[in-house]
Amino acid sequence: MKQLNQKKFLWGTATASHQVESGNFYNDWWLWEKEGKIKTGDSAHPSCEHNLRYKEDFYLIKFLNNNSYRFSIEWSKIEKEEGVFDENEIEHYLNMLKEMKIRDIEPILTLHHFTIPQWLYHKGGFENPEFPEYFSKFVSKVVPYYKELANYWITINEPVIVALMGYIFGDWPPGIKNRKRAFSVLKNLAFAHAQAYDIIKEKKKDSLVSIAHNLMIFKPATWNPLDYMVCHLLDSWFNMAFLKTIIEGRIYSPIGKKEFHPELKNKLDYIGVNYYTRSFFKFGIRGFAEYKRKNVPRSDFGFEIYPEGLYEVLMRLKPFGLPVMITENGMADKKDLYRPDFLKTSLKSVSRAIKEGVDILGYMHWSLMDNFEWVEGYSKKFGLLETDFKTQERKPRGSAYLYQKASLINPNTDSFDF
Ligand code: GCO
């Protein structure tokens, strides 16, 4: 197992540039919005103006007793035109990192969180066989500026979701519904991650690099063995294939046919995991279908509230023998009715997994404040802080005070006495 210079448990929250910044006019999601694809008609501009108010937001991060913060930099602002890098934008994120340093906030820097520059989108985006090279040029440009201030890196946020939402369900850009094209996107993302991993490690060898990987719990709707088979397949496709590809170097189905590529092997220093919910599935004549159980508590998003699942997911990752960071965990809950208990049970899951031998680096709650939830606009409220998008005021919800208390505990040494 790779040794980590891990001294403290990282308590933080997570955000993403397009979801919290103003002025994101240069990426594919801005085009998607102009095509009327945001269900609520909301615009991602100006959102929370985090790019203008980050000092105030860092003050609130310290108010939460957090010692860490996961955020993403916006490729499309830095490289508005192919090969032309905007030094002011690069410096903007450098200033953010400097402010975090003086406030003792450990950054977890995400290089790619769903959005790509419009010039790349018009060249086929994630499907372009040169996508890994385009991403590598961007990574090679920015890492030297940030490497002394960032130790933890996330190359790509949720590569499987990029392929699923943009190329299978078609709800996200570019709105394709074609499995074959989705799998070729995933292959490109695996090589893009691996190349970015090598660049970061070459620039600063003790950097710790991962992806933020969305893991879902799949449960059979009945005792029918076919339902179990469906869930096993979904787990291997959605949860395991991409992870195993960038650990073992073999391109696992459905992305590939287990062909070996040495450049993909051992490209994770820790596993970043985003966990939200579980779903029930059953076998059907057309393959499989989700089975929406009745009379179970659900978030405002309609996801089943199942924080115990975080323990199951963490134990699922234990055999990989790598440290784990919870890079996202949270729920849409405008009234903060369920979030307090969700948070307590989620953190107890972390504690239990640590006691059972999982090396957990930290916990990043999604999210610091209400923000632009992709095609849902501002209708889904994930923030510990409520955002007033007219006044830009951030107001702590009840859960914020719970998280403030929890963040004073080191789960490696103490248990939560909620
Ligand atoms: C994701 C993304 C976030 C979401 C969050 C709530 O997992 O889709 O990382 O951008 O906003 O998960 O849905």
Q: What's the pLDDT tens digit per position in 373-387?
A: 999 999 999 999 999
Does residue 51 sit within a domain? yes
Averaged pLDDT for residues 87-91: 98
Ligand 1 atom nearest to 371, measured from its CA: 11
Among 5-19, 296-310, 403-417, the range of highest mean pLDDT: 296-310
Averaged pLDDT for residues 403-409: 97
Closest C-alpha to ligand 1, atom 1: 158
Three-state DSSP class for residue 203: helix
> How far apart are the CA of 131 and the centre of ligand 1, in A?
23
Given a contact cutoff of 8 angstroms between Cβ atoms, the answer to whether 273 and 316 are in contact is no
pLDDT score at 66: 98
Closest C-alpha to ligand 1, atom 13: 373
- pLDDT of 4 over the 90 cut: no
| Mutation to probe ligand 1, out of 156, 274, 277 (largest number of atoms < 8 A from CB) | 274
Three-state DSSP class for residue 35: coil
> How far apart are the CA of 322 and the centre of ligand 1, in A?
23
- pLDDT of 3 over the 70 cut: no
CATH number at residue 91: 3.20.20.80
- pLDDT of 183 over the 60 cut: yes
Does residue 167 sit within a domain? yes
Tell me the percentage of the chain whose pLDDT exceeds 70: 98
Does residue 3 sit within a domain? no
Does residue 320 sit within a domain? yes
> How far apart are the CA of 224 and the centre of ligand 1, in A?
32
Closest C-alpha to ligand 1, atom 11: 373
Closest C-alpha to ligand 1, atom 4: 373
Total domains, the chain: 1
Ligand 1 atom nearest to 212, measured from its CA: 9
Is the alpha carbon torsion for 10, 139, 103, 92 positive or negative? negative
Given a contact cutoff of 8 angstroms between Cβ atoms, the answer to whether 13 and 69 are in contact is yes
Structure tokens at 14: 């997570």
pLDDT score at 386: 98
**pLDDT tens by residue, 210-229:** 999 999 999 999 999 999 99
Does residue 415 sit within a domain? no
Averaged pLDDT for residues 140-167: 98
> How far apart are the CA of 226 and the centre of ligand 1, in A?
31
**pLDDT tens by residue, 112-128:** 999 999 999 999 999 99
Predicted confidence band at 5 (pLDDT cuts at 50, 70, 90)?
Answer: very low
> How far apart are the CA of 307 and the centre of ligand 1, in A?
16
> How far apart are the CA of 244 and the centre of ligand 1, in A?
22
Given a contact cutoff of 8 angstroms between Cβ atoms, the answer to whether 299 and 338 are in contact is yes
> What's the start-to-end Cα distance of the chain, in Å?
33
pLDDT score at 246: 98
pLDDT score at 7: 58
- Using a 6 Å CB cutoff, which residues line ligand 1? 16, 19, 157-158, 161, 214, 274, 328, 366, 373, 382
d(CA 123, CA 115): 14
d(CA 344, CA 346): 5
> How far apart are the CA of 355 and the centre of ligand 1, in A?
28
pLDDT score at 79: 98
- pLDDT of 355 over the 90 cut: yes
- pLDDT of 290 over the 50 cut: yes
Ligand 1 atom nearest to 330, measured from its CA: 6
d(CA 343, CA 340): 5
> How far apart are the CA of 7 and the centre of ligand 1, in A?
28
pLDDT score at 161: 98
- pLDDT of 2 over the 60 cut: no
pTM of the model: 0.97
| Mutation to probe ligand 1, out of 374, 381, 387 (largest number of atoms < 8 A from CB) | 374
Does residue 5 sit within a domain? no
Predicted confidence band at 415 (pLDDT cuts at 50, 70, 90)?
Answer: confident
Per the structure, the complete domain to which residue 98 belongs is given by 10-406
Is the alpha carbon torsion for 129, 90, 97, 55 positive or negative? negative
- pLDDT of 407 over the 80 cut: yes
pLDDT score at 340: 98
> How far apart are the CA of 159 and the centre of ligand 1, in A?
12
Average pLDDT, the chain: 97
Closest C-alpha to ligand 1, atom 10: 16
DSSP E strands, 53-175: 68-72, 106-112, 152-157
pLDDT score at 285: 86
Q: In terms of Cα–Cα distance, which of 229, 218, 253 is closest to 244?
A: 253
d(CA 137, CA 99): 26
Predicted confidence band at 1 (pLDDT cuts at 50, 70, 90)?
Answer: very low
Ligand 1 atom nearest to 114, measured from its CA: 10
- Kindly list the distances between the CA atom of residue 225 and the CA atoms of 222, 228, 246, 289, in Å, as whole numbers in the listed order: 8, 5, 31, 15
Structure tokens at 157: 């946020």
| Mutation to probe ligand 1, out of 366, 370, 376, 380 (largest number of atoms < 8 A from CB) | 366
Averaged pLDDT for residues 295-324: 98
Ligand 1 atom nearest to 374, measured from its CA: 11
d(CA 276, CA 332): 10
> How far apart are the CA of 365 and the centre of ligand 1, in A?
11
- Burial classification of residue 312, based on how many CB atoms lie within 10 Å of its CB (0-12 exposed, 13-18 middle, 19 or more buried): middle
Does residue 4 sit within a domain? no
d(CA 70, CA 48): 16
Does residue 186 sit within a domain? yes
